[in-house]
Structure 1
Amino acid sequence: MSVLRYFGRLRSRRDSLEDRLHLHEARRCFGSEDCEDGTTDELLAQISELDYSMCSLRYRRRH
């Protein structure tokens, strides 16, 4: 798989996780009690991992 295609897949996955995070935060704002289950932390950790992978690809591509 080419680096650009892989980068695109990572970006797509990150965008999907960010959408889930926004939805989860919106539910919490409206008082949903079942939102305090660690989902926010899990989503943020996954997004952070994807960001790190994407930065690594950018760095490798430049050097």
Structure 2
Amino acid sequence: MRNKYLAHLYAKRSELESKLELHIARYCFGEGEVDDGTEADLKERIREITDEIAALENEHSY
């Protein structure tokens, strides 16, 4: 069960990282000149998922 959940978290983080990269690329090429908070939201969610992954992995190592 834990492994499936960790796999889900890794996949979700990867998906969000891809969205962030795309958002940044669009901004760099002038396609998204309005800062609507998307970048900050994506970074925050990635950070939350990373923290959750770390916590679960630390639990598992004991």
Query: Gaps spanning 5+ residues in structure 2: where?
Result: none
- Kindly report which structure 2 residues correspond to 1:11-50, keeping only aligned pairs within 5 A, or say none: 11-32=10-31, 33-34=33-34, 36-50=35-49
**Matched length:** 61
C-alpha distance in 2, partners of 1:27/1:20? 10
Give TM-score, length-normalised by structure 1: 0.93
Identity %: 34
CA RMSD of aligned residues (A): 0.7
Query: Gaps spanning 5+ residues in structure 1: where?
Result: none
